[in-house]
Amino acid sequence: MTSLLRKKDINALISHASPLKRTLRTWDLTFLGIGAIIGTGIFVLTGKGALTAGPALSISFLIAALCCGFAGLCYAEFASMAPIAGSAYTYSYIAFGEIIAFIIGWDLILEYALSAATVAVGWSGYFVNLLDNFGIHIPTALTTAAGTTPGVTSYFNLPAFLVVLIITWVISMGITQTKRVNDTMVIVKLLVIILFIACTVWFIKPQNWHPFSPYGWYSHHNGTATGIIPGASIVFFSFIGFDSVSSSAEETINPSKTLPRGILLSLIISTILYFCMTLTMTGVVRYPVFRKYINAPVLAVLAKTGQSWLSIIVSIGAILGMTTVILVQLYGQSRISYSMSRDGLFPKFFGQVDEKHQTPFKGTWFFGIITSLGAGLINLNILSELVNIGTLTAFILVSAGILIMRYTQPDLHRGFKAPGVPFTPIISIIFCLTLVAGLNWETWVRFFVWLALGMALYFGYGRRHSHLNPNYKGAD
């Protein structure tokens, strides 16, 4: 039992010389966070969210942001204590021990893969529509996975498959190229969102905000959970990914200071944009109208204002927004598997750093190919909730880890200290448990199946090859 809970020593981790290249600064990390957060939430989920919460969707976004904010403070403190690649996996190794770390690392790999593949499918829809505007048509059979749409014959989602491969190539080429591509797309995406708000805010009619919260905090309408809290559960997916910023610790300059700033700044900026965007959209259009535009809610606003010229610009913004989300998720996934391999819990293949590109090249391509095939072949509608359960589990462990570290190692140097401890991590845990409780039983079954596969890998390989195993001799 003791071997299952063996822990990493922070001082030993910090003294480790990383082969990864340090180039990231505060704004690079902030843009990584914004790249992960701003995308599906604004361009897709606002429609479903508005139908669930009405104009009070803006409050739903604030609640979801608050949940992530408390967790973000805990991530920021851990990042300042242990500026090492691996995010929640590494933090769990320090606070709880090896088997818990393996479980959360295994969870995060699934979370990042499913999230990237799911967003790639949404990206494909916008991309196909944009091509249609220019008279270019991709056969329907090659735009969705088999069985995705009842009554429609389809075999493979080619655009989703290709975009994941292209982004995998960018990430594998090096952190400098990844940073430049992400920064450029985030800047364009933000300009598109600001342009959209600036052009439509003049059409707001305050009467569209009345009643502001038609379903209250929580209620049932036509057999469906409605209100501000269910709305928060829906848009929580929008904030998933900010935690991947902490995976970049070994490629960050002065990480103990820079990582906390990047995490918190990205959350703050994204929350402000979400709040302004949802207030504008529900102010221009009565919320029931979004039922007709459930997959592209911004088009409802453009139709109402007669600004059809903006539709192509918004489509480009949506495509770039989702591209950055995919990029950051795949980047985070590659760094988690790299960290697990370096610790011996995964085969060495995943942790080999290419000398030319200074990236875990082989591992990046392995998971990139798996994710691209998933985006092209699998109906992800039935799996997407697994992303939420993986993220919430990570948030709970990181928050609980702060409580443990404050008690067991109070004198450890911290470049940032989460305010309000122990209340901050406790509130974070309560928020996350509340959202976890709302997940359906099928999601739990799939989660435990994935966990069982992970345990087979850990006991069959990871436990014996762990670098903390006294009998480990450095050979696979």
DSSP string covering 44-113: IIHHHHHHHHGGGHHHHHHHHHHHHHHHHHHHHHHHHH---TTTHHHHHHHHT-HHHHHHHHHHHHHHHH
Distance of CA 195 to the CA centre of its chain: 25
Residues 6+ apart with CB under 8 A from 223: none
Whole-number Å distance between alpha carbons of 270 and 180: 20
* Residue 406 binned pLDDT confidence (cut-offs 50, 70, 90): confident
Q: Using 50, 70 and 90 to split pLDDT, how confident is the model at 166?
A: very high
Asked, for residue 170, whether it belongs to a domain, the answer is: yes
**pLDDT mean over 255-284:** 86
| Domain carrying residue 21 | 2-465
Residue pLDDT, tens place only, 39-52: 767 777 777 788 78
In a domain, 470, yes or no: no
For residue 217, being part of any structural domain is answered with yes
| pLDDT over 70 percentage in the chain | 89
pLDDT of residue 260: 81
CATH of the domain at 241: 1.20.1740.10
Q: Which range (66-75, 224-233, 376-385) has the least confidence?
A: 376-385
pLDDT of 475 > 60? The answer is: no
For 451, the enclosing helix (H) or strand (E) is helix 441-457
The closest alpha carbon to 313, from 197, 400, 440, 212, belongs to 197
Give the separation between CA 199 and CA 313, rounded to whole angstroms: 12
pTM above 0.85, yes or no: no
pLDDT tens-digit series, residues 326-339 = 888 888 888 888 88
Determine the Cα–Cα distance for residues 288 and 266; give it in Å rounded to an integer. 31
- The residue length of the chain stands at 476
Domain-embedded: residue 388: yes
Instruction: Count Cα atoms within 13 angstroms, Cβ side, for 431.
Output: 27
Higher pLDDT, 84 or 346: 346
In this structure, is residue 475 part of a structural domain?
Answer: no
User: Going by C-beta distance under 8 Å and a sequence separation of 6 or more, which residues neighbour residue 384?
Assistant: 114, 118, 237
Both tokens assigned to 46: 């606002």
Highest mean predicted confidence (pLDDT) among 178-187, 352-361, 437-446: 178-187
Q: What angle do CA 464, 470, 476 make, to 5 degrees?
A: 40
Number of domains making up the chain: 1
Tell whether the model's pLDDT for residue 476 goes beyond 60.
no
Q: Which amino acid is at 154?
A: S
Please enumerate in sequence order all residues whose Cβ is within 8 A of that of 439, keeping only pairs 6 or more positions apart, or say none. Answer: 385, 388, 389
Average pLDDT of the residues in 247-253: 74
Question: How far is residue 165 from each of residues 11, 116, 177, 381, measured CA to CA in Å?
Answer: 37, 11, 15, 21
The pLDDT score that the predictor gives to residue 376 is 82
Q: What is the pLDDT of residues 341-363, one digit of tens each?
A: 888 888 888 878 777 777 788 88
Q: Is residue 363 part of a domain?
A: yes
Mean pLDDT of the region 278-302: 81
- Mean pLDDT, residues 116-127 taken together: 82
Q: To which residue do tokens 């911004």 refer?
A: 298
Q: Measured in whole angstroms, how far is the alpha carbon of residue 115 from the centre of its chain?
A: 7
Q: What single string gives the DSSP state of each residue in 404-435? A: HHHHH-TTS--SS--TTTTHHHHHHHHHHHHH
Of 70-74, 201-205, 410-414, 435-439, minimum mean pLDDT range: 435-439
Tell me what the pLDDT averaged over the chain comes to: 80
Would 326 be classed as within a structural domain? yes
C-alpha distance from residue 442 to each of 111, 448, 472 (Å): 16, 10, 39
